Structure 1
Amino acid sequence: MSRMIIDSENFDLDKTLESGQIFGWKKIGNRWIGEIKQNVVAIEQKRKELIVEVIWENQKNKLNQDDIRYYFSLDVDIEYIYSKINTDKTMENAIKEFDGLRIIRQEEWPCLVGFIVSTFSNIPRIEKNIEEIKRRHGTRIEINDKRIGINEFYLFPTIEQIRKSEVSTLRKCGLGFRDKYVHNTAKKIDYRKIREIRKMRYEDAKKELMKLDGVGEKVADCVLLFAFEKYEAFPIDVWIEKAMNNIYREEIRKYFDSLNEYKTKRKKRKDKDKFSYSEIAEFARHKWNGYAGYAQQFLYEYVRKNKINKK
């Protein structure tokens, strides 16, 4: 077992892993147990340091400190990002309350499956579904360390493992109508295609992802933000839609009134202040420039934890 101590100033492990951007991590005591590059790790934060223990090492893909820094975006200038998204009192409060939250650079395939599974679901159910997918299709790892609190861990299944499975076994994971989406996606994508998508511009990458079964605008934007480093992506769920309409409605209206091509379209609408997914996302990219995704994550946590939309 290897052990690493990594500086984690301006980073909050709990806030980051509890923010709904990633699935499959479990907290036992003070440690978070999860998977990075098919290595099983136990991570604990003490003040400004991460204590990382690799409790099962992938001999073909060993972890080092740079891998951990990259995964948790510790190499990102978070203060600079704060300066770009701190545009109003709401964002100021969100940044203050969730200071240390960062966007994880997830592996693309697990992230894609996770957000396909998330459609019309909730976080506890998603976590249960992901755990079942891992147990039924992933590789079992025996853990011989009583301190950690587990005796086994299942790695997230590869594309090939899901592709070779049957829809019926995915159905046993409790995915409902999503089982076919996951299975069909495994048939349509491979790691070469993932590398190609990573190189694309945001707009093109989004179109490519939306060709996959079960991938609509929101799922595509989540995957692009959390796995492909497209920080201009702005995923819009129920919480974000309500927040944008409640907090930024007037600002959105003024923005689109300034664009001639939208004036005629808005006049024909019954509800002139009802904005589409693409319009809200366009405004967000205008307001928060290249870091709309970071603004989304702070806004999502702030309105969800404080139930702002219910006031």
Structure 2
Amino acid sequence: MSWTKLLCSHREVQLIGTLNGGQTFRWTHNKDNDEWIGIFSKTVWKLRQSNDGLQYQVIGSLLSKSNKNNSKKATVAKDVNTELFTSLLEKYFRLDVDLVRYYKEWSEADELFKSAGQQFYGVRMLAQEPVENLFSFICSQNNHISRISSMVEKLCTQYGEEICSHEGTTYFSFPEVQKLCEPKVEAQLRKLGFGYRAKFIQKSAEQIVEWGGEDWFRTLQDMKYKDAKEELMKLHGIGPKVADCICLMSLNHLEALPVDTHVYQIAAQNYLPHLRGKKNVTDKMYMEIGDHFRKLYGDMAGWAHTVLFCADLKKFQQNGKEDESVKPKRRRIK
């Protein structure tokens, strides 16, 4: 199977920090050949990195005409589809953003970022699909990454559409929001171990469908950041942190800054010492932390802080490589 290359410097894209830093939960890393396999846009991708580019293979896709007739067979993107898949990958990684330039600006504004950015270069803010992003982060509440990934895969297996099988694994798309809004979904998800999150998922899906489905998310993209966040928090079980994750990762509000335990600790230890030792983060403190970094980094503060977040994760603190012995939690601040 041939590879297609997107030309870009390795300083512009670092896969390990981007795909394994808590933004998304559907990528796995094969350390033997340093390749990644994951799913987005109803497509199964394989990625690898070189000094001068990002290489990809399409293992299977519901977007490919050749795959629709037999979804159980892995398919290769034909020449006619290469432009489509390349465009999807460029959009997903936001490759139109000159990240080296922004790293320079953020480093000039902040010595801590300058230090972190030397090791954690090329950490990109993924442009994710809002439905998948929202329900993935509902699963993330009071949870750790391996269990979040398991829950997301259960959602896909139970309610998604089969894309293909590859090397003994069957891959599914993330379910349409209409599949998650039916009343029986809550009971089904509780049986699958989702706990209280089952109700959040079903009720939020029901609201989204009532408000217009995918079109509703597009209206949020056109709103100002704070207005979009307020609308998201009207969903069942969506608090400030999850709303900020969706704004940042799916709605192009790159100034959004989700405040969890790690972010609070980074802020208190390095920037806002008067916040040290607090047991809980109040709404006022949450806003103070976000506003501090927005003032420091500008209208892409959420992206800049994601680099600090990666640098703070213990699993990345061994020469920038993943430490398998550590499974960090992305806990929710109460």
Smaller-chain TM-score bracket: 0.7 to 0.9
> In structure 1, what is the Cα distance between the partners aligned to 2:164 and 2:89?
23
The structure 1 segments of at least 4 consecutive aligned residues displaced by more than 6 Å after TM superposition are none
> In structure 1, what is the Cα distance between the partners aligned to 2:63 and 2:13?
29
1:1-20 CA-to-partner distances (Å, cap 9, x unmatched) read 78521113121112210111
Counterpart of 1:222 in structure 2 is: 245
8 Å CA contact retained: 1:198, 1:228: yes
Structure 1 residue 155 and structure 2 residue 173: aligned? Answer: yes
Count of aligned positions = 283
- Describe the SS at the equivalent of 1:194: helix
1:51-80 CA-to-partner distances (Å, cap 9, x unmatched) read 211111223796331221111111111022
Counterpart of 1:188 in structure 2 is: 207
Counterpart of 1:44 in structure 2 is: 48
Partner of residue 304 from structure 2, selected from 289, 292, 295: 295
Counterpart of 2:328 in structure 1 is: none
Counterpart of 2:322 in structure 1 is: none
Tell me which amino acid in the other structure corresponds to 2:300.
Y
Unmatched 5+ stretches in structure 2: 66-80, 277-282, 319-334
> In structure 2, what is the Cα distance between the partners aligned to 1:37 and 1:124?
22
Instruction: Sort the Cα spacing of 1:238 and 1:7 in 2 relative to 1 into closer, same or farther, 3 A.
Output: same
Task: State the Cα RMSD in Å.
Answer: 2.3
8 Å CA contact retained: 1:85, 1:292: no
Q: Map 1:1-311; keep pairs closer than 5 Å.
A: 3-9=3-9, 10-28=12-30, 29=32, 30-59=34-63, 63-86=84-107, 87-143=109-165, 145=166, 149-164=167-182, 165-189=184-208, 190-249=213-272, 276-305=285-314, 306=317
Instruction: Sort the Cα spacing of 1:169 and 1:252 in 2 relative to 1 into closer, same or farther, 3 A.
Output: closer
Q: CA deviation at 1:26?
A: 1.8
> In structure 1, what is the Cα distance between the partners aligned to 2:219 and 2:304?
27
Counterpart of 1:265 in structure 2 is: none
8 Å CA contact retained: 1:134, 1:157: yes
TM-score by length of 1: 0.84
1:208-227 CA-to-partner distances (Å, cap 9, x unmatched) read 00000121111011111111
Q: CA deviation at 1:172?
A: 2.9
> In structure 2, what is the Cα distance between the partners aligned to 1:24 and 1:66?
20
Q: CA deviation at 1:23?
A: 1.2
> In structure 2, what is the Cα distance between the partners aligned to 1:85 and 1:252?
23
Unmatched 5+ stretches in structure 1: 254-273
> In structure 2, what is the Cα distance between the partners aligned to 1:99 and 1:141?
33
8 Å CA contact retained: 2:42, 2:63: no
TM-score by length of 2: 0.79
- Describe the SS at the equivalent of 1:64: helix
- Describe the SS at the equivalent of 2:193: coil
1:92-142 CA-to-partner distances (Å, cap 9, x unmatched) read 111111001111100110000011111111111111111111111111233
